[in-house]
A and B are shown apart, each in its own frame.
Chain A
């Protein structure tokens, strides 16, 4: 079944190439359908190839496509194991739905076909990343998703803010990549190969604890950049400048989970380095709380979801750091479902409001766009952790695992529990602000439900958000069983055994979710003046949250400004006077010498003739006199 596996990458790539060169002739909306077809067929191929895993009992295989640099174990090879299969199914499945949604969302855009070119390029890159059989190929995909993310954030590049956001995302990611590259060099130094097959089996005999810790921490730097963790998360909120389907696909469901995937894949290394794992979990917990508080006070509908994504990625880091790899990947999957749903819902709202994103100017949209409202409501409940929706099961497994780990992880568990409460609050706040209460939009906008091409993906995702959690409940650990072959080199951390413990822990987090959500409903289901007063009551905390703790200003003052200053010194202090000066000096000297010789060239032939004759005479006289 793996003979055709290369098609999974090749199909979207072919779509991207085709649309790049011929997209203008394919036109709208056919280029969108073509891209969606490429993505959907990749999903079908992946499903067929994954079928043996789903049935159980199939071994992981490596498919060698091309020997690239065999000496360092860097070939184009695909590792087809349950983890890769799951990631591919999520990427192509959610990705295809978003492709279809985008056909409606991007209608009328001048560069419609170009959008789908980039979208397909992203799919191919992300699939390269998750299917890679070695770190070199993973890094290739890692950089390619960075590129396509850049292209898509800056899709509306004529807006200066979009161009700036794209640059910011790229540069911040480069900082993370720097750490990741050093990690890969260390891996190569230690193992002499970059191939997974040669690394994970031998990890515990080859790696010293110090080396494993160094590799783990440097990988964390890379993962924190790609997955928007503290302190490298600042690019993700700005990335909302891209079209909303992009935010849904790249900055919520797929690309940003690459860091989680990297750590889960490298579990065998983190297993040896408890310090690195604990750091991963701590960074995750801090990020979860940090971003959740910022999300509380955002006015922009997409910014709320952006910070919420950062916060949820924090949960995944907490899980993989605690050794609960399955829980982390599980949350990755459920989050991909409900966050894609929420983003697409937000896109539907923005579409209906003629590109208005300020929630203060929304309200009362429930009657105008019921499908969007209800599906987004499902997403809100799912992320708030209300059973039996998807978010409840995955989030609960993470919190349970952290609790079971004990010690320091108990503190992280409490942070996670508080975050559940805040998450429920800000999500309900968002839903109420958008869909309930008085209409606050201006007279000339007339909100309307989106076309079916947009609502059908919403309905499918809402359905999946309801049932997605059943993949892995404490009563039937289907996903854990499915993923077991991928985690044979690690000891999985699980929630405490027993139904009673489960009930207590789940009860606590459900209670936190209900309290948060209830407070959000009570606080915001009121006239505008009342909830504005409510927000003012939290000053100066609320302003700090709204300004995202002024982290951007801090980075601006501490890093960007000195960088600009250094560039200024180099440009106007060194380059201009010294380097340019030397070059111009040489030119000026030559010019001055030329100036001296210039009068000789009078342009009159007779002058040259006289000189010529005189010269000849001198030579003749010299010859005659000399002889």
Chain B
């Protein structure tokens, strides 16, 4: 059974919106970080499905690259979150507003 690319696109859009809302509404830094990952992978999904629909391998190749870079980014991001948590004993984003103007 072949599913039309439009469904994948719709799923990707739904994932992206969930990620964006979670990013804006949640306070826990760790959850926000996962929301960002969700948005990232939503975009990956669009790339793969577009590549498949257009019969172009470039879409999948780009996703491989993105996955590698994302892995590195996750390491850095988690390290920062752990460091902040150790210093502040909190993971609430509202406590981290030192750069308020």
Q: List A residues at the B interface (Cβ < 8 Å).
A: 597-606, 609-610, 613
Contact = CB atoms under 8 A, between A and B. Distances in A.
A603 B100 CA distance: 4
B15 interface: no
A609 B93 CA distance: 12
A606 B28 CA distance: 12
A604 B23 CA distance: 12
B24 A613 contact: yes
Contacts of A610: 24
Q: Which 10 A-B pairs have the closest CB atoms?
A: A603-B97, A603-B100, A601-B101, A598-B101, A606-B24, A605-B93, A609-B24, A603-B99, A609-B23, A604-B97
A601 B99 CA distance: 7
Contact of B100 (A597, A602, A606, A609): A602
Contacts of B25: 606
Interface in B1-47: 20, 23-25, 32
Nearest to A600: B101
Contacts of A602: 97, 100-101
A610 B21 CA distance: 10
Contact of B101 (A603, A606, A609, A613): A603
A598 B99 CA distance: 11
Interface of B: 20, 23-25, 32, 93-94, 96-101
Contacts of B93: 604-606
Given A609-B23, A610-B24, A613-B24, A604 B101 contact: no
Contacts of B99: 601, 603
A164 B29 CA distance: 68
Given A601-B101, A603-B100, A606-B24, 13 more contacts: A597-B101, A598-B101, A599-B101, A600-B101, A601-B100, A603-B101, A604-B93, A604-B94, A605-B93, A606-B25, A606-B93, A609-B20, A609-B24
B32 to A, nearest CB: 7
A600 B93 CA distance: 18
Contacts of A605: 32, 93, 96
B18 to A, nearest CB: 13
Contacts of A598: 101
Contacts of A600: 101
A265 to B, nearest CB: 74
A604 B92 CA distance: 11
Contacts of B96: 603, 605
9 contacts: A600-B101, A602-B97, A603-B96, A603-B100, A603-B101, A605-B93, A606-B25, A606-B93, A609-B23
A603 B101 CA distance: 7
B88 to A, nearest CB: 14
A599 B100 CA distance: 8
A360 B25 CA distance: 95
B94 A613 contact: no
A603 B98 contact: yes
Given A604-B93, A604-B94, A606-B93, A613 B20 contact: yes
A606 B20 CA distance: 10
Contacts of B100: 601-603
Contacts of B97: 602-604
Contacts of A606: 23-25, 93
A606 B21 CA distance: 10
A605 B94 CA distance: 8
Nearest to B23: A609
Nearest to A616: B20
Nearest to B100: A603
A303 B31 CA distance: 90
B16 to A, nearest CB: 11
From A597, A604, A610, name the one whose CB has the most chain B CB atoms within 10 angstroms: A604
A610 B98 CA distance: 19
B67 to A, nearest CB: 22
A603 B23 CA distance: 15
A445 B75 CA distance: 86
B2 to A, nearest CB: 28
From A597, A598, A599, A606, name the one whose CB has the most chain B CB atoms within 10 angstroms: A606
B1 to A, nearest CB: 32
Nearest to B35: A609
Contacts of B101: 597-603
Contacts of A597: 101
A597 B101 CA distance: 8
B95 to A, nearest CB: 10
Nearest to B36: A609
A605 B98 CA distance: 11
A598 B101 CA distance: 5
Nearest to A594: B101
A610 B93 CA distance: 15
From A599, A609, A613, name the one whose CB has the most chain B CB atoms within 10 angstroms: A609
B81 to A, nearest CB: 12
B13 to A, nearest CB: 12
